[in-house]
Amino acid sequence: MPRMGYSFPEEVLEHVFSFIQSDEDRNAISEVCRSWHDIERWSRRRVFVGNCYAISPTMVIRRFPEVRSVKLKGKPHFADFNLVPEGWGGYVAPWISAMASAYPWLEEIRLKRMVITDESLELISKSFKNFKVLVLSSCEGFSTDGLAAIAANCRNLRELDLGESEVEDLSGHWLSRFPDNYTSMVSLNIACLGWEVSFSALERLVGRCPNLRTLRLNRAVPLDKLANLLCRAPQLVELGTGAYSSELRPDVFSNLSGAFSGCKELKSLSGFWDVVPGYLPAVYPICSKLKSLNLSYATIQSPELIKLVSQCQNLQRLWVLDYIEDAGLDALAASCKDLRELRVFPSDPFGQEPNVPLTEQGLVSVSEGCPKLQSVLYFCRQMSNAALMTIARNRPNMTRFRLCIIEPHTPDYLTLQPLDVGFGAIVEHCKDLRRLSLSGLLTDRVFEYIGTHAKKLEMLSVAFAGESDLGLHHILSGCDNLRKLEIRDCPFGDKALLANAAKLETMRSLWMSSCSVSFGACKLLGQKMPGLNVEVIDERGPPDLRPESCPIDKLYVYRTVSGPRFDMPGFVWTMAENPALRLS
């Protein structure tokens, strides 16, 4: 019998596969045939698990035995706003233990919204000889002691990024644990640390790492020490300053200005806590090269912001407080034609009255003046359908649009109508929209528009919107690419959820809090859908002590291949397939 196939030797296939990095493509490759599946799984080096409870570490390790880089996400996004009670979960320890023995050559760990202990950090530092990258984004559960272990033991560390994590600050001396002969730091982000780190250790570290590209300092690093640091690292590409305030002194200013001028590669700036405006001109020499500017902690007023931003002609990303005002956004629109991303944060989020003249007009200006604008996060206090329609028509290339009108249920301020048609225009014109956050007064109609038009939408955030289950039904039945849906304080109940139960298996997760979903519906969903974990989160006590029709407080539904988890706290119940298994 003639042999079938023109099969290449495995080595050739492996070599070809090594050029394929994206998970989607690799997943497709692995479905071609048995041998491709095997070759692919042995050659996969990066794994991304978007929900740490969707699969167990054992299963990942069994399928992909030679992984070098792992990225895990834990808590749902609304945990950022304190909607997920403390102790819900997201513990990384089981993953670290499993990988410590299975992946001795692991190089990179990236975590988001997970709980990691000092023990795990120590285990990481001792288990992976070639460990290079540790990124802890919005994590918690560890202290500077854990960081000390990383510093002391990870000889090949390139990147230590603490993101916006909550770190228990026991001592600033952890930084001194980097050995004197350690010189490989490329990226260091300690901006989230509340207390001082040993400054002399920091200086020496910066001075001996010639490949340092990113340095994000914390607020405790004083301005008069910054020049010194910059002089030791003129090759920096990304810098986060510490506190940007000091008594105005000409010598400090000229040192700083000189130091900035010496950083010819600087493309990104952040930090700027407690800004003293008199020191801002020190950065003017490098403004024209800046691509990214994060002024979201800088409490400076519009005129200074305008002076700064007008010099940044190559700016691609700007994060700023609403102190910039509509006038500042006009200036931005006029000067920064390469702008891709704008985030405007509220300076007074809990005030009842607008404290600055920042309105929908600022966003409209930027949408007109910046042809590449594709990502927006905007907090404001008034909006109109007309403005949203203008923005939509101006920027059909928008991919991420998050609007937060601070007061819930705020209608179009001109017509007093709901903002349905405005957001409808956004989803209709922006055909590549992947992420959307809604706010303002909204009826079920907006969801009809979204379900009809937002075919590429992957993540939707909804708050204080809608009128009935029809709203939720439109989303779940219409948005073909929806992966994450998070809802709070909307009158959505059981019907739409149960009618679209199968849809939930095509998504990563659904969050619903302060809605009208009954306990009975949750049980039903859990029973019907074994491929989902249906978690009822309720700090009032066991839901089965109340009538089944009673709405539950919070619902978190996610697809999983590893069944119910066993690390739940007392206020979380998983609705299991077999009611007898339900822990209550």
Partner 1 sequence: MSPDLPKSDVSSGLNFKETELTLGLPGEIGRGTSSLIQIPGSSSAKLTGTKRGFSQAAMDLNLGRSFSVEHDDSACEQSESENEDLSVAKPPSAKAQILGWPPVRAFRKNVITKSCHLVKVAMDGAPYLRKVDLEMYNSYQQLLSALEEMLISCSTIPTHPTRNYLDEKKLMDPASGVEYVPIYEDKDGDLMLVGDVPWKMFVESCKRLRLIKISEAIGPDPRTPQQSASCTS
**How would you class 283 by CB atoms within 10 Å of its CB: exposed for 0-12, middle for 13-18, buried for 19 or more?**
buried
Residue 10 vs 80, nearer CB to partner 1 = 80
- Which residue, 126, 139, 136, 135, is CA-closest to 99? 126
In degrees to the nearest 10, what's the CA dihedral of 337, 217, 111, 139? -110
Alpha helix ranges (H) inside 44-92? 57-63
Residue 107 vs 360, nearer CB to partner 1 = 360
CB of 122 to partner 1, least distance (A): 26
In degrees to the nearest 10, what's the CA dihedral of 133, 157, 239, 22? -30
Cα–Cα distance for residue pair 442/327, rounded to 1 Å? 29
Residue 89 vs 471, nearer CB to partner 1 = 471
- For the chain, the first-to-last Cα distance in angstroms comes to 63
CB of 76 to partner 1, least distance (A): 12
Q: Tokens at residue 544, please?
A: 């089965």
For 500, half-sphere exposure in the C-beta direction (CA atoms, 13 angstrom radius) is: 25
* Alpha-carbon distance values, 537 to 87, 246, 367, 377, 495 (Å): 11, 48, 40, 29, 20
CB of 524 to partner 1, least distance (A): 8
Residue 151 vs 521, nearer CB to partner 1 = 521
Residue 110 vs 503, nearer CB to partner 1 = 503
For the residues of 304-344, what is the DSSP string, one character each?
Answer: HHHHHHTT-TT--EEEEEGGGHHHHHHHHHHH-TT--EEEE
CB of 346 to partner 1, least distance (A): 6
Contacts of 350 (CB under 8 A, 6+ apart): none
Cα–Cα distance for residue pair 489/472, rounded to 1 Å? 13
Residue ranges that bind partner 1, judged by CB under 8 A: 78, 80-83, 164, 192, 273, 296-297, 299, 321, 345-350, 352-354, 379, 381-382, 404, 406-411, 413, 416-418, 441, 463, 467-470, 473, 488-489, 491, 493-496, 498-499, 501-502, 515-516, 518, 520-521, 524, 528, 547-551
CB of 495 to partner 1, least distance (A): 4
CB of 98 to partner 1, least distance (A): 31
CB of 123 to partner 1, least distance (A): 28
CB of 445 to partner 1, least distance (A): 8
CB of 582 to partner 1, least distance (A): 19
Residue 43 vs 437, nearer CB to partner 1 = 437
**How would you class 409 by CB atoms within 10 Å of its CB: exposed for 0-12, middle for 13-18, buried for 19 or more?**
middle
Residue 88 vs 379, nearer CB to partner 1 = 379
Q: Tokens at residue 73, please?
A: 């996400």
CB of 253 to partner 1, least distance (A): 23
Cα–Cα distance for residue pair 207/190, rounded to 1 Å? 17
Residue 136 vs 370, nearer CB to partner 1 = 136
Helix (H, G, I), strand (E, B) or coil at 273: strand
Residue 44 vs 400, nearer CB to partner 1 = 400
Q: What is the three-state SS of 386-401?
A: HHHHHHHHHCCCCCEE
CB of 518 to partner 1, least distance (A): 5
Residue 82 vs 578, nearer CB to partner 1 = 82
Residue 122 vs 448, nearer CB to partner 1 = 448
Cα–Cα distance for residue pair 237/354, rounded to 1 Å? 37
Amino acid type, 391: I
Residue 297 vs 558, nearer CB to partner 1 = 297
CB of 202 to partner 1, least distance (A): 21
* Alpha-carbon distance values, 388 to 120, 317, 367, 423, 430 (Å): 47, 21, 10, 7, 12
